[in-house]
Amino acid sequence: MSELFSLNGRVALVTGASRGLGFAMAKALAENGATVIVNARGMNALSAAADSIGAEALPFDVTDAAISRAALQGIVERRGRLDILINNAGIQHRRPLVEWEDEDFDRVIAVNLSACFRMMRDAARLMLPNKFGRIINTGSVAAVLGRPTIHAYVAAKAGLHGLTRSAAAEMGRHGITINAIAPGYFATELNTALINDEAFTKWVEARTPAGRWAQPEELGGAVVFLASNAAAYVNGHVLTVDGGLSVSL
């Protein structure tokens, strides 16, 4: 059984992995045998994160198309292959609808959706010759459940779930699977404002059947499964990891 989930010999890039969910997923991939490359913009936090799990630090901004493409190409040149891409870098912006600025909407879409599309495309080009690839997009329960103030985020994540399906439909025959993980409420820096809001935390605890915020490590099993041979026939799936939030009223 452990062979089925082993990632020995696999080379994985995780974007947005200096902290939070990206770091937790990178750690889980490394612990299961993958050679891991972690990405983010801030080099100090990224180096420390990489060192702590024996990964390579690869700083770049995923919204820079040329640099992102060169970074992917560089991995293949240094490591010989790219097997797994975790499209995870993401940002949040909260405002009442009538106060949203166009630039803020575009900025969230650029990181959370457009960059994911380009990374998927450019990674798939590098995976095609090997007839093997695993692309896993970090979606969200907010792709299907609306919430006030986070308009660009909800639009981007809904788009990313859709992109997961269209790419899966096309790439499956080439040995490349494209799936998404949809986390519920995880205690990370992205949610600092919400975690510090006592009323909101009470709401999360009452609203989520699990009765609490999730910890980032709780995504590890999902990402290892989708990246492994165990998920060879799982394609275009959105794996929800939300403590039951999205199936309950």
Q: Give the residue numbers annotated as catalytic, written as ranges.
A: 153
For the chain, where are the E strands, in sequence order?
11-14, 35-38, 56-57, 84-87, 133-138, 176-183, 238-241
Report the distance separating Cα 226 and Cα 86, nearest Å.
10
State which residue, 22 or 159, has the beta carbon closest to ligand NAP: 22
Instruction: For the CB of residue 100, give the shortest distance to ligand NAP in the complex, in Å.
Output: 18
Sheet of 84-87, strand order: 56-57, 35-38, 11-14, 84-87, 133-138, 176-183, 238-241
95 Cβ partners below 8 Å, 6+ apart?
Answer: 101, 104, 149
| Residue ranges binding ligand NAP (CB under 6 A) | 15-22, 39-42, 45, 61-63, 88-91, 111, 138, 140, 183, 185-186, 188-191
Nearer to ligand NAP, 59 or 133 (CB): 59
DSSP count for the chain of H helices, then E strands: 10, 7
Q: Minimum distance from CB of 214 to ligand NAP (Å)? A: 7
Judge whether 4 and 229 are in contact, CB under 8 Å.
Answer: yes
Per the CB < 8 A criterion, the answer to whether 135 and 166 are in contact is: no
How far apart are CB 94 and ligand NAP at their closest, in Å? 13
With respect to ligand NAP, which residue has the nearer C-beta, 45 or 144? Answer: 45
Residue 154, H or E segment: helix 151-171
Find the shortest distance in angstroms from Cβ 46 to ligand NAP: 7
- The residue (of 35 and 87) whose beta carbon lies closer to ligand NAP is 87
